[in-house]
Structure 1
Amino acid sequence: MSIESKEVPADLVAPGAGSAGPPPGKRARGTGQGARGGAAPYLLILPAALVTVVLLGWPLVNNGLISFQNLNPRQLIQHVTEWTGFDNYSGQLGSSDFWSVVLRTVLFTAVNVFLIMLIGSLIGLLLARLGKRMRLLLMLGLALAWAMPVIAATTVFQWLFDARYGVVNYVLDQLGWHSMAHYNWIGDQLSTFFVIIVLIVWQSVPFVAFNLYAATTTISKELYEAASLDGAGAWKSFTSVTFPMLRPFFLATTFLEIIWVFKAFPQVYAINQGGPDHLTETLPVHAFVEGMGSQHFGVGAAISILTILILLALMAYYFRIVLKQEEDEL
């Protein structure tokens, strides 16, 4: 006994019945469009990525290669490559002078960042409370200070603190401090650092102030009204409303300021070339003095690589905070 199989007419079959998806032709086109759509963002950022690799990546790699060489004028003239392994690194890591520069750089960065964030935050909060005219006037002054080129600003500060013709000494003398009439501000370590810190803080405060003022405009006024109804004063409103809302701003701005101050070179070098007696050298200046000044290019390259590694180590705590916040948001 046999069962005859009957073929169902094609026009009675429901569309899509007995199949897992669209016809092969349509599926291929959809897959191709999806692939092109997924690759589009990478194609758009490819030019910028290539420029970054060429302008930043290759110099960093080349600098790393030089740090493993004994590269002096003799090697450059003779076109000789002398590989020394980790000798340049071990020589610096075993040097007390290098670690003195590291400690000096860390303290210098900490003092500058603290003053920049404190003064910049206070001015930013002041901008949020001033009237339109006074706010515009203050913002204009901040913008002019921020827009001044670094070397031009450094030249102005050299004139302001000049021992014989400086305005600062003249004003102090007129106020009764006659011993300051011809005081040499770049004659010792502390006074030289004082001039450099004033210069860097003056240049960096506008960035913090502008960003903080812009961030305060995003906070709802209802939060402040609720805090005032609860009897909160100015300080309590700041700690309970402003600071919690602007915590990401403070973290990001502090992160940027640490990087900018840690790698500050023109201000430190132009004021007194790291003097007197190399006592105001920070790591970037120390790398330049050892590399270009002493023409020990391999040693200078090794110091610059160590500078990057030390900065990354200092920023490790910040990276942990950022990652923890992202995990909490998820």
Structure 2
Amino acid sequence: MVNQSSPVDFLLLGFSEYPGLERTLFIIVFTSYLLTLMGNTLIILLSVLDPRLHSPMYFFLSNLSFLDLCFTTTFVPQMLVNLWDPKKTISFLGCSVQLFIFMSLGTTECILLTVMAFDRYVAVCQPLHYATVIHPRLCWQLVAVAWVMGLVQSIVQTPPTLRLPFCPHRKIDDFLCEVPSLIRLSCGDTTFNEIQLAVSSVILVVVPLSLILVSYCAIARAVLRINSAKGRKKTFGTCSSHLMVVTIFYSSVIAVYLQPKNRYAQKRGKFFGLFYAVGTPSLNPLIYTLRNKEVKRAFRRLLGKDEDPRES
């Protein structure tokens, strides 16, 4: 029997098969969420308040931080409630809103990381033309494209997913409402949805990642042509934080969305999904603040402290 009346509550099973782990996960997720809020808010404030950070690189970084704040707030509060409450329910409307926003912001981040790679490519490979190529108007246009593409992707894929004939048990084997888990919940034909998911994964994950890799291959060649070791280290240092963020983000995304279709992979993918959704937004500000001298200097200036001469 198939449930044709969609507007009912769903059960987000999350990690209920590991009841002894849920309290520990609650603490980890809550701590990560606090780090996400504090770290990304700090980066946004520094980028806005410190004139020395009014550059394209930090404009894109502040957008990434704002994106991560919205991304985690979409589902973490609900996830914390479900980790603590044995009921673990979410309304159809709540699930729909969560699915729409989560998909939109996730897509936007894929595009935005590609834009940031392009920014680093121009800075390293075409430094004399950087100011004329990456001008403020282009920065706003690139960010707008990222957000619009995320919105379009969500508009295209959310309705077909929500129109699926869901099974009567309404149990979503995940900690949030996302496309793969809702497809698995369907008791009807999901061929169209699976094809749509596969195509969007190639367009929005494989293609952007390929462009990022091409950019960094060009950056690596440019860095190797620099004669001094100090110059190579300094030049690559401007890209290392972004490269780390890209590696962590895309490794998690690939593990979640491009995994084989078997039960073991799905269970493993749930933990990768947790890291992708909760871990990466909290790690991003740490990576950029701990590895970026300009951000650390800006933070000291915000606190009214003198700059450390060793970092000059």
**Same fold per superposition (TM over 0.5):** no
Which is greater in Rg?
A: 1
TM-score normalised by the chain length of structure 1: 0.28
Higher relative contact order (CA 8 A, sep 6+): 2
